[in-house]
Chain A
Amino acid sequence: MKPKTILRWVAGLLILAGFAGIWRLQHRIDATLASARVEQDQLTLRSPAALKRISLEYAPLMAALYWTRVVQYYGEKHRLHQTNLELLWPLLDITTTLDPQIIPAYRFGSTFLAQKPPAGAGQPDRAVQLLQRGIAANPDEWRLYQDLGNVYYFDLHDYSKAAAAFTEGSKNPNSYIWMKTMAAKIAAEGASPETSYFLWQQIYETTKDPQIKKNAEEHLILMRAQLDIKAIDQISDQYEQRTGHRATRMVELIEAGLIRGIPRDPAGFPYVLDESGKAQLNANSPLVEKEKTVLERR
């Protein structure tokens, strides 16, 4: 082999070794940057109006870029289990000012804002503000009323406003038929497990965001358990009416012919009756821990 060819081979190998070094070095730099990341969270230009002027005719493109930044910001915070989402509102404010027709920013953005930390920013008032802005700019977008109703119902527990939002949305001929009946039900009863279950089911079936879907699924599983417990308590009431005393074991309900077997929760663990005869989750069920986490979030 000629000396020049050998030199070229050596140079080629050096380049490969160099990139291996780059790979290792970049990991270290990433770690250094990650430790300083909280300090680097910032938004140089906070004025949406100024940004819109600077963007000239490219405001929709800028809005798309800002929306991408919202998603990356939220995703990154979620991944790092960081709860300080103080830039979420300014970023959404800028995005929707640059392009008021950007519907996903209102829909997903309000969910990110409304949920309690660590799932969201815990700012339901901002979520309402965002959705009302979206409705004003897009009055035909009836799904925004649905989202507004959900924020009032789940996060602010303001049932009259939730009912009003669903009623307003139901006026759109393209809206879901259930919105009108749901509005009437909430106006009459306020919160109920059946209503909550139905609304979470709607979120689960219609959302495209995997995190929102997962959150809805967790709620549905827990609500299913709550509805089961409510049904078991009703059966226990019947048992008490018949026998004059409250059952404290599931076997008593089976022997009385009121249930066929011991009912199980969605995780497969049998429900139990406590000393006062109230149905509850099995202490070994993973739903007990899940219930604590979800309740903390709400």
Chain B
Amino acid sequence: MRNVWVVATNTFREAVRDRVLYNLVFFALLMMGAAILVGQISIGIEQSVIVSLGLSAISVIGIFIAVFIGVGLVSKEMDKRTLYALLAKPIERWQFLTGKFAGLAMTLTVNTAAMTAGLYLALWSVKHTLTSSDRYLIVAVYLILLKLVLIVALAMLFSCFTSPFLAILFTLGIYVAGLFAGELRRVQAVNLTPAAMSMFRAMSYVLPNFENFNVMATVAHGRAVPGSLVGQGTLYAILYGAIVLLGASLIFSRRNLK
């Protein structure tokens, strides 16, 4: 575990050095602009607009970091040849992967926490108060974070066996497909054969179902998110993330690094 922790903390430090957290400036500007403009463009739905915009920004910025940094975690080390020096030390490949994953997850947690604080500030500046229903924002952000962590795992999986460019494409493709996983299961098409319907259904379980983490609309209207959904979403992210990391470790352990 110590090896994993060392790699994770170094990955976090590297991300900070690479100015990944600079995106927070962009987020702050966006929120300030929205807070100023929202009163002029909408009537009665200021809270809904600020929350939707803030959560969307947290999600989109997080996805960019998860995909682009996640793909680079392994490939950058190989390109710079620092991986060889690292693996010459008493560290297993799966430990390296897990550490990198944990490091980026830490970065995303810090980044998301800072953006959440910014979102609360924007909300406060619009409403001049915070109500009890605003606490549900934390739940939505937590579920977004789970989604981002899953995306990091997927980005790392793809970067273990293909080029960075293709890994980015694959990860984004799986992300988009994962948003429609639920639709695949519920598809109502008269011209589909039973075999095709079964295939869609099977695919909907294999694809990561990102719909499970989307409570943005509920929270934007100040409604509570069922506690069971939070628990199940957490379990889903842990289970799916473990499967993906296990797969990535299997592939990476067989990869010829010469």
Which residues does A use to contact B, with CB under 8 Å? 8, 11-12, 14-15, 18-19, 21-23, 25-26, 28-30, 32-33, 35-36, 39-40, 42, 44, 71-72, 75-76, 79, 210
Q: State in angstroms the CA–CA spacing of A278 and B205 once bound together.
A: 59
Q: Name which of A22, A28, A35 has the most chain B CB atoms within 10 A of its CB.
A: A22
Q: State in angstroms the CA–CA spacing of A72 and B189 once bound together.
A: 9
Which residues does B use to contact A, with CB under 8 Å? 52, 182-183, 185-186, 188, 190, 205-206, 209, 211-212, 217-218, 221, 223, 226, 228-229, 232-233, 235-236, 239-240, 242-243, 246-247, 249-250
B217 and A11 form a contact (CB under 8 A): no
B232 and A11 form a contact (CB under 8 A): no
A25 and B236 form a contact (CB under 8 A): yes
4 interchain residue pairs of minimum CB distance: A75-B188, A18-B243, A29-B232, A32-B229
B205 and A19 form a contact (CB under 8 A): yes
Q: State in angstroms the CA–CA spacing of A213 and B243 once bound together.
A: 46
Point out the residues of chain B lying under 8 angstroms from A22, CB to CB.
205, 236, 239-240, 243
Given contacts A18-B239, A42-B217, A33 and B190 within 8 Å (CB-CB): no
One of B186, B226, B246 near A36 (C-beta < 8 A): B226
Point out the residues of chain B lying under 8 angstroms from A14, CB to CB.
243, 246
B235 and A40 form a contact (CB under 8 A): no
Q: State in angstroms the CA–CA spacing of A75 and B183 once bound together.
A: 12
A44 and B52 form a contact (CB under 8 A): yes
A71 and B188 form a contact (CB under 8 A): yes
Point out the residues of chain B lying under 8 angstroms from A39, CB to CB.
218, 223
A72 and B235 form a contact (CB under 8 A): no
Q: Is the interface of B mostly helix, strand, loop or mixed?
A: helix
- Closest A residue by C-beta to B247: A15
The minimal Cβ–Cβ distance linking A99 to chain B, given in whole angstroms, is 21
One of B223, B226, B242, B243 near A32 (C-beta < 8 A): B226
- Closest B residue by C-beta to A79: B188
B209 and A26 form a contact (CB under 8 A): yes
Point out the residues of chain B lying under 8 angstroms from A71, CB to CB.
188
Q: State in angstroms the CA–CA spacing of A40 and B223 once bound together.
A: 10
B243 and A25 form a contact (CB under 8 A): no
Point out the residues of chain A lying under 8 angstroms from B186, CB to CB.
72, 76
- Closest B residue by C-beta to A18: B243
Q: State in angstroms the CA–CA spacing of A176 and B203 once bound together.
A: 46
Point out the residues of chain A lying under 8 angstroms from B52, CB to CB.
44
Q: State in angstroms the CA–CA spacing of A79 and B226 once bound together.
A: 24
Point out the residues of chain A lying under 8 angstroms from B221, CB to CB.
42
24 pairs, CB–CB < 8 Å, chain A vs chain B: A8-B250, A11-B246, A14-B243, A15-B247, A19-B243, A22-B236, A22-B240, A22-B243, A23-B205, A25-B236, A26-B205, A28-B228, A28-B232, A29-B229, A29-B236, A32-B226, A32-B228, A32-B229, A33-B182, A39-B223, A40-B218, A71-B188, A75-B188, A210-B190
The minimal Cβ–Cβ distance linking B188 to chain A, given in whole angstroms, is 4
Q: Name which of A23, A42, A44, A72 has the most chain B CB atoms within 10 A of its CB.
A: A44
Point out the residues of chain A lying under 8 angstroms from B235, CB to CB.
25
Q: State in angstroms the CA–CA spacing of A44 and B221 once bound together.
A: 11
Q: State in angstroms the CA–CA spacing of A40 and B221 once bound together.
A: 10
Q: State in angstroms the CA–CA spacing of A72 and B232 once bound together.
A: 26
Point out the residues of chain A lying under 8 angstroms from B226, CB to CB.
32, 35-36
- Closest B residue by C-beta to A68: B183
Q: State in angstroms the CA–CA spacing of A48 and B142 once bound together.
A: 33
With A18-B243, A22-B236, A35-B226 given, can you name 19 additional A-B contacts, CB distance below 8 Å?
A: A8-B250, A11-B249, A14-B246, A15-B243, A15-B246, A22-B239, A25-B235, A25-B239, A26-B212, A29-B229, A30-B182, A32-B226, A36-B226, A39-B218, A40-B217, A42-B217, A42-B221, A44-B52, A79-B188
Q: State in angstroms the CA–CA spacing of A19 and B218 once bound together.
A: 29
Point out the residues of chain B lying under 8 angstroms from A25, CB to CB.
232, 235-236, 239
Point out the residues of chain A lying under 8 angstroms from B206, CB to CB.
19
A29 and B233 form a contact (CB under 8 A): yes
Point out the residues of chain A lying under 8 angstroms from B223, CB to CB.
39
Given contacts A29-B236, A32-B229, A36-B226, A72 and B183 within 8 Å (CB-CB): yes
The minimal Cβ–Cβ distance linking A209 to chain B, given in whole angstroms, is 9
Q: State in angstroms the CA–CA spacing of A153 and B205 once bound together.
A: 47
Point out the residues of chain A lying under 8 angstroms from B190, CB to CB.
210
Q: Name which of A12, A32, A40, A75 has the most chain B CB atoms within 10 A of its CB.
A: A32
Q: State in angstroms the CA–CA spacing of A33 and B213 once bound together.
A: 11
A36 and B188 form a contact (CB under 8 A): no
Q: State in angstroms the CA–CA spacing of A25 and B212 once bound together.
A: 11
The minimal Cβ–Cβ distance linking B190 to chain A, given in whole angstroms, is 6
